[in-house]
Structure 1
Amino acid sequence: MGSVSYSNLKNAMIAFLVPLPSILFYLSFQSAISTPSSWSSLWTWCYHHPLLLANVLFFFNVNFLFWLIGLIQSSHWMIDPYWTVIPVMLVHYYSTHPLAQYQWWRSRIVTLLTWAWSVRLIHNYFRREKWQWGAREDWRFTDLSHRYGRHWWWASFFAIYVPQQVFLIGLSLPFYVIHSVNQPLSMWDLVAIVVCVSGIVTAYIADTQLYNFVSRKNKEVPILDKGLWYYSRHPNYFGEQVWWWGMAVFAWNLGHGWAFIGALANTMCLAYVTKLVEDRMLKQDSRAEAFRLYQKTTSLWIPWFKSSPLGLKSKDA
Structure 2
Amino acid sequence: MSSFSSMLMSSSGSSVTSNPATGREKWEWGAREDWRFADMRRQYGKHWWWISFIAVYFSQQIFLMGICLPLYVVHSVNKPLNIWDLVAAGVCLCGIVIAYFADTQLHNFVTRNSKLKELGKPMVLNLDRGLWQYSRHPNYFGEQLWWWGLVIFAWNLGHGWTFVGSLINSMCLAYVTVLVEQRMLKQEYRAEAYRLYQKTTSVWVPWFRSSAIAVKDKDT
TM value normalised by structure 1? 0.63
Which amino acid in structure 1 is aligned with residue 142 of structure 2? G
Judge conservation of contact 2:200–2:215 (CA < 8 Å) in 1: no
1:120 to 15, 18, 21: 15
Percent of aligned positions that are identical: 62
The residue number in structure 2 matching 1:229 is 132
The residue number in structure 2 matching 1:278 is 181
Mapped partners of 1:176, 1:203: distance in 2:
24
Larger Rg: 1
Deviations 1:58-112 (A, max 9, x none): xxxxxxxxxxxxxxxxxxxxxxxxxxxxxxxxxxxxxxxxxxxxxxxx1112112
The residue number in structure 1 matching 2:171 is 268
The residue number in structure 2 matching 1:193 is 89
Q: CA RMSD in A?
A: 1.8
Secondary structure class of the residue paired with 2:143: helix
Secondary structure class of the residue paired with 1:193: helix
CA drift of 1:189 comes to 0.6
Judge conservation of contact 1:141–1:160 (CA < 8 Å) in 2: no
CA drift of 1:311 comes to 4.6
Judge conservation of contact 2:185–2:191 (CA < 8 Å) in 1: yes
Higher relative contact order (CA 8 A, sep 6+): 2
CA drift of 1:180 comes to 1.4
Counterparts of residues 157-306 of structure 1 (less than 5 Å):
157-217=53-113, 218=116, 219-306=122-209
Mapped partners of 1:311, 1:240: distance in 2:
30
Which amino acid in structure 2 is aligned with residue 313 of structure 1? D
Which amino acid in structure 2 is aligned with residue 312 of structure 1? K
Which amino acid in structure 1 is aligned with residue 197 of structure 2? Y
- 1:314/1:195 Cα in 2 relative to 1: closer, same or farther (>3 Å)? closer
Which amino acid in structure 1 is aligned with residue 55 of structure 2? A
Deviations 1:117-139 (A, max 9, x none): 12222344532223324423322
Counterparts of residues 77-92 of structure 1 (less than 5 Å):
none
The residue number in structure 1 matching 2:119 is none
Unpaired segments ≥5 residues, structure 1: 1-105
TM value normalised by structure 2? 0.89
Mapped partners of 2:60, 2:215: distance in 1:
42
Secondary structure class of the residue paired with 1:301: coil
Counterparts of residues 57-96 of structure 1 (less than 5 Å):
none
Deviations 1:137-184 (A, max 9, x none): 322122112211111232222121221012111110011101111111
Mapped partners of 1:140, 1:220: distance in 2:
23
Which amino acid in structure 2 is aligned with residue 300 of structure 1? V
Mapped partners of 1:239, 1:221: distance in 2:
24
